[in-house]
Amino acid sequence: MLVGILFIWLITAFGLWIVTLVVPGVTARSTGSLLLAALVLGLVNAFIRPLLWLLTLPLTVLTFGLFALVVNAFTLWITGAMVKGLEVRDFASALLAALVMAMLALAGFILAQWLMMGEVHWMYMTSHQGVYL
């Protein structure tokens, strides 16, 4: 349990580091800032993001899920405001950063599928109970 949380925290910090390299409006002062930002982002995702999802559910449905990217951008923007060492210059930078983080998450999912099964099943995903999603 604790190892999994630490792993996700480090992966999030790595993703934020990639974002600072790719997105011009997002900068971090140090590695410590990235680690702290990953922790704060995890807390924001755990406590604030579910409320935002609930409040924006109609918009998310109307935009076929694309508004979820705006919610993710807002959580990154909030994290940048809370952590002194992480600067998210404007909401457009946060939106681009959220897109990059989503692409990194997809790449991580594909890599995990490949490492666990030796192949990637795009359309065939099951839950732990065997129910098709």
**10 Å Cβ neighbour count for 6?**
10
For the chain, which residues make up each domain, given as ranges? Answer: 2-117
pTM of the predicted model as reported, rounded to 2 decimal places: 0.82
**Per-residue pLDDT, 121:** 62
For 17-54, write each residue's pLDDT tens digit. Answer: 999 999 999 999 999 999 999 999 999 999 999 999 99
Measure Cα distances from 31 to 16, 36, 63, 68, 85 in Å: 10, 9, 36, 28, 9
For 83-107, write each residue's pLDDT tens digit. Answer: 999 999 999 999 999 999 999 999 8
